[in-house]
Amino acid sequence: MSATTSVAIIGGGIGGLTLAAALRRRGMDAVVYEQAPELREVGAAVALSANGNRVLHELGLRDGLAECGAVPTELIYRNWGSGARIAAYGVGADYERRFGAPYYGVHRADLQKCLARVCGDRVRLNHRLVDMADSGNGHRLEFANGAVASADLVVGADGVHSTVRRWVTGEETAVYSGTSGFRGLVPAEQLPSLPDPGAIQFWMGPGAHVLHYPIGDGSVVNFLAVVHEPEQWAGDTWTERMPLEEISTCFDGWHPGVREMIERTSLPQRWALFGQRPLNHWYRDGVVLLGDAVHAMLPHHGQGANQTIEDAATLAECLHRADREEALARYERLRRARTRAVQRSSWTASDLLHLPDGLRAEQRNRALENIPATLRWIHAHDARATAAA
C-alpha cells in the first residue's frame, strides 16, 4: 500500500493496538482513536495461546510478555462437584516446543501497556467516533470531543458493539448468547481448597462452568464463571451489579475451591456474553473490520483476543504487500473461514461445558481425549506466515 495512505484505527483494544504496532513495524503509519480516557481494563485478564503470542513476539513483545505473563502448568478439565480430573494436557515447556510460542495468562492492562509502548505517540485517547462520511478523497471522521480527522483507510477495531460495523454491513447487531459471566482476580493464597491453582482449569457442571488460570507472577488467579442465564438480556449496558450472595447461589453445591473463588471476587457484577453472526463482508469502500467487531465469539476457547491478534497480523501483512483493494480482499479471504470455524466451535463449547452429569457428559468427557488435535488446528496457526505465503 502506498506510503502516503493514512490509516485510522477506531478502538485501542487488543486488536487496534496490535494492528498499529504491526503496521509501524512495516514502516506504515496509523493513528489509533480510543474512546476511553486511558488504556485500561479493570479486573480482567486474558489467556494468550501460541497463535497469538507468536505474533506478539514478532512485534518485539517477547520480554515484556515473559515479565507480565504466567505460564500455566497444565490444561485440566474437572467435574464441578467432586473435582475429579477428567482430562489434562501439559501447556508448559512441551507446549512451547510443539507450537513455537508459550501459553500465557496476562492481565489485560499489562498487555495493553506492552502494546502501547510499541505504538509510541500514535494513540489518541478520549476520541469516541460518532460519525463518518466519504469526503470524496477518503473518509472524514467526527469524534464526540469535537475533533475531526481524515483517513484513506478506516479500520473498525471497536469491539463487539462496534460503531464502524454499520458502514460495512448496515445495522448488524451483536447477539446475546443466553449466558452471562462473573469475573474476578483472587490471590492464590486465599484459595486453600483449590487444587492446582497454577493450572488453566475448566470446571464443568449443570448449566454453568468456571474457567481460571494464573496471571502475572502466578500469585493471582483470574476466573470467569459462566451461567446459562438469564434467557433474555434487557439492559442497555452489558454489565449489571449483583449482590455477591446471589452470584454465590448460582454455584451452590460446587467444589469448595470454586466456591472460594466466587465468594472472594471484588467485582460483584454480571457480564452478558455476546457473539456475532458470521458476516459475509468484512470491508466496503475503504472501511474494514477486525476482531470482535467482525467475529465476536464466546470466550470458551480463549480465542477472541487470539483471533483478533491473528487478524491484525494478517491485515498488516496484506496492506504491506498489495494495494488497498487487493489487500482487503486477501485479508477477508484469509480470515473469514478460520474465524468462522473458531466462532462456531466456541458456541458448541458453551453447550458442552454446561451438561448435567449423565450419558452426554460421559460422551463429552471421552471426546476430551482429543484435546491435542483441537489445540493443534487453533494454536499452531502462523497468521503472518500464512499471509506472507
Contact status, residue 43 vs residue 142, Cβ threshold 8 Å: no
Which residues lie below 8 Å from residue 249, measured CB to CB, with a gap of 6+? none
What residues between 226 and 245 interact with ligand FAD by CB under 6 A? none
Report the 10 Å Cβ neighbour count for 135: 11
Taking CB under 6 A as the criterion, the residue among 102, 184, 197, 302 binding ligand FAD is: 302
Taking CB under 6 A as the criterion, the residue among 78, 165, 183, 255 binding ligand FAD is: 183
How many chain residues bind ligand FAD (CB under 6 A)? 35
What residues between 347 and 386 interact with ligand FAD by CB under 6 A? none
- Asked if 279 touches ligand FAD (CB under 6 A), the answer is no
Q: How far apart are CA 350 and CA 354, in angstroms?
A: 7
Q: What is the DSSP string of 33-78?
A: E-SSSSS--TT-EEEE-HHHHHHHIIIIIHHHHHHHEE--SEEEEE
Residue 202: closest CA among 90, 86, 357: 86
- Which one, 139 or 361, has the nearer CB to ligand FAD? 139
| End-to-end CA separation in angstroms for the chain | 17
- Asked if 181 touches ligand FAD (CB under 6 A), the answer is yes
- Asked if 310 touches ligand FAD (CB under 6 A), the answer is no
Q: At its nearest, how many Å lie between ligand FAD and the CB of residue 257?
A: 20
- Establish whether the linkage from the previous residue to 37 is cis, with ω within 30° of 0: no
Taking CB under 6 A as the criterion, the residue among 11, 83, 214, 275 binding ligand FAD is: 11
Q: At its nearest, how many Å lie between ligand FAD and the CB of residue 360?
A: 25
- Asked if 56 touches ligand FAD (CB under 6 A), the answer is no
- Which one, 111 or 355, has the nearer CB to ligand FAD? 111
Q: How far apart are CA 52 and CA 72, in angstroms?
A: 16
Q: Are strands 139-143 and 74-79 parallel, antiparallel or unpaired?
A: unpaired
Q: At its nearest, how many Å lie between ligand FAD and the CB of residue 164?
A: 7
Q: How far apart are CA 138 and CA 142, in angstroms?
A: 13
Taking CB under 6 A as the criterion, the residue among 1, 7, 10, 116 binding ligand FAD is: 10
Contact status, residue 28 vs residue 323, Cβ threshold 8 Å: no
Is 95 known to be catalytic? Answer: no
Q: At its nearest, how many Å lie between ligand FAD and the CB of residue 195?
A: 21
What residues between 94 and 133 interact with ligand FAD by CB under 6 A? 127-129
Part of the chain binding ligand FAD (CB under 6 A), chosen from 67-75, 86-94, 168-176, 298-306: 298-306
Catalytic position from the list 95, 103, 104, 213: 213
Residue 39: closest CA among 137, 108, 95: 108
Residue 116: closest CA among 185, 58, 59: 59
Part of the chain binding ligand FAD (CB under 6 A), chosen from 248-256, 301-309, 333-341, 377-385: 301-309
Which residues lie below 8 Å from residue 324, measured CB to CB, with a gap of 6+? 1, 5, 152, 153, 286
- Asked if 68 touches ligand FAD (CB under 6 A), the answer is no
Taking CB under 6 A as the criterion, the residue among 104, 167, 254, 271 binding ligand FAD is: 271
Q: Mind telling me the catalytic residues?
A: 213
Q: Which residues bind ligand FAD (CB under 6 A)?
A: 10-16, 33-36, 46-47, 127-129, 157-159, 163, 181, 183, 224, 271, 273, 291-293, 299, 302-306, 308
